[in-house]
Structures are given as C-alpha cells and as structure tokens.
Amino acid sequence: MTANDVMRQCVYDINGTSFLESEYQKYDELLTNVTSSMSNVYVNLIATLDLSYIHKAQQSTPYCKELHKYLREGACIDKPDVTDAELELLDHNIHVMNGMLH
C-alpha cells in the first residue's frame, strides 16, 4: 500500500507531518471498510521494502538504466540526479510509514 504513496517523499522527513496523518487516515478508513463490510477475509499488511535498492538495480543494468531515462514511474527512484542522501531519506520515510501501519 505505501510504495506508491511514499515514492515522492525524498526531500523531507515525513514523521509528524500532515502528509503522514492524511495517509494514516486513508489506510484506517480502508481497513475499517474492509473489516466492517466483509466476513471471513484476511488482510495482510506487508512492510514496504527499501526502494533505494530499486534505483540501484536500475542503474546497474544497462537496459533498465536506458529504459528509465524515458520512463518516470517511480518519482525519486527514477530521478536521474537523485542523491544518496535523498535515497536514504526515502528509505527512512518508508520505515516511518511501515511503523505507522504496524
């Protein structure tokens, strides 16, 4: 659930922000709707992996590196001039969202 939501968050720490609160409320609403309207259903919340590894994989494979010059589907991880600090912040924000869902 969180990968697409957090992909653009590599500029600032989302901990304690209105962005995080808004995302939490959306997830809570979704899970409340699922659990109140369905019976005999399992909901698995799986932690989002560190997306910086996706960027590193894209950059280490010539085909992917060339392809992602034209495809911009992953915001921070597809940014051609993304820095290590931005990728580290992205991973931090993923951990924050994983903790929120936990």
Q: How far apart are CA 5 and CA 8, in angstroms?
A: 7
10 and 86 in contact (C-beta within 8 Å)?
Answer: yes
Distance of CA 97 to the CA centre of its chain: 8
CA 44 distance to own-chain centroid: 17
Q: Which two tokens stand for residue 6?
A: 């957090």
Which structure tokens are listed for 3?
């990968």
Per-residue pLDDT tens over the stretch 8-43: 899 999 999 999 999 999 999 998 999 899 988 888
Tell me the pTM. 0.84
Q: How does pLDDT run across 37-68, given as a tens digit for each residue?
A: 998 888 888 899 999 998 888 888 899 888 88
C-alpha to C-alpha distance for 99 and 102, rounded to whole angstroms = 5
Characterise 75 by phi-psi region: left (phi > 0), alpha (psi -120 to 50), beta (else): left
The whole-number pLDDT of residue 37 equals 92
Distances (CA, A) of 94 to 26, 50, 57, 67, 99: 16, 7, 18, 25, 8
